[in-house]
Amino acid sequence: MGQGQEVTLWAVLGQVPDRRSRHGLRFELRSVLAVLLAGVLSGRTSAAAIARWGRKLEPEQLEQFDIRREAPCQGTYHYVLKGLNVEALEKVLGSWVGQAGSPGQTCLDGKTLRASRHGQYPALHLLALYSERLQGVLAQMPVPADQNEITVAMKLLKEVALEGAILSGDAIFTQQQICQQVTEGGGDYFLVVKDNQPALKEQIETAFAQPFSPLGKTDVEAGGMHGAQRREGARTAGGEAA
């Protein structure tokens, strides 16, 4: 890819490795993924709904997804998603979002996915890096039960280009290691400081406090007035001497 040449989403989906056997394969992986994305963007929220939506597409529309026959059925979507290399998909999609330019204001935030808890398996908690300027997620990672968001944030920031980024986030990310990693990558940060970091909070409050004199306001003003009177007297005396 030449410098300045943009990669299309269709090309990016083709970079996701396909774990399926080639024997009896009817649909290319990126064709299935593209229909899934289009279905979600059209308001469908389940594999069954996307399958019904896809079956209503005209042959000319299906050709845009490189599909020469009817659209995939619900079982195909289930089979593809079950064996999908999610990490690889997220990585290529993040790179695709990042190619649009400098990320600008970038938010680091963690969310627990609703209804993701299943039996003995805990709910899935994801940490994402979102670019407000590019309107997309640059990268995201799951937060294991034996780790916290700080540990995962250090790994996540290594996955993206931070040049021109201004990182924002909750107070949990106000860590020296995170700030150092951002600045070393060419970015800046704007993070929250709370009472659990009293020394840092005091330093910031001192830096932004109004200047004052240990002599007190009255003494400073008086000294300034006396000084002005002395200067005026010196000019008058000089004029009379001349």
Whole-number Å distance between alpha carbons of 165 and 168: 9
Average confidence (pLDDT) over 149-162 = 89
Q: In which order are the strands placed within the sheet that holds 125-131?
A: 136-142, 125-131, 105-112, 166-169, 188-191
List, in order, residues 6 or more apart from 192 with CB less than 8 Å away. 169, 170, 171, 174
Question: Are the CB atoms for 168 and 106 separated by under 8 Å?
Answer: yes
Whole-number Å distance between alpha carbons of 166 and 203: 22
Indicate if the pLDDT at residue 226 is higher than 60.
no
Read off the tokens for 169.
């986030």
Question: Are the CB atoms for 160 and 139 separated by under 8 Å?
Answer: yes
Question: Residue 232 — pLDDT band, cuts 50, 70, 90?
Answer: low
**Radius of gyration of the chain measured on its C-alpha atoms:** 30
Mean pLDDT of the chain: 83
Question: Residue 241 — pLDDT band, cuts 50, 70, 90?
Answer: very low
- What is the CB-side half-sphere exposure of residue 35 using CA atoms within 13 A? 33
Whole-number Å distance between alpha carbons of 136 and 93: 9
Question: Are the CB atoms for 189 and 166 separated by under 8 Å?
Answer: yes
Indicate if the pLDDT at residue 90 is higher than 70.
yes
In 60-143, the DSSP E strands lie at: 105-112, 125-131, 136-142
Neighbours of 17 (CB within 10 A): 10
Instruction: Tell me the pLDDT tens digit for each residue of 96-107.
Output: 888 877 889 999
Q: What is the pTM of this model?
A: 0.67
State the pLDDT at residue 216. Answer: 64
Instruction: Tell me the pLDDT tens digit for each residue of 17-72.
Output: 998 888 778 899 999 999 999 999 999 989 999 999 999 999 999 999 999 889 99
Share above pLDDT 90 across residues of the chain, in percent, rounded to a whole number: 33
Pairing outcome for strands 166-169 and 105-112: parallel
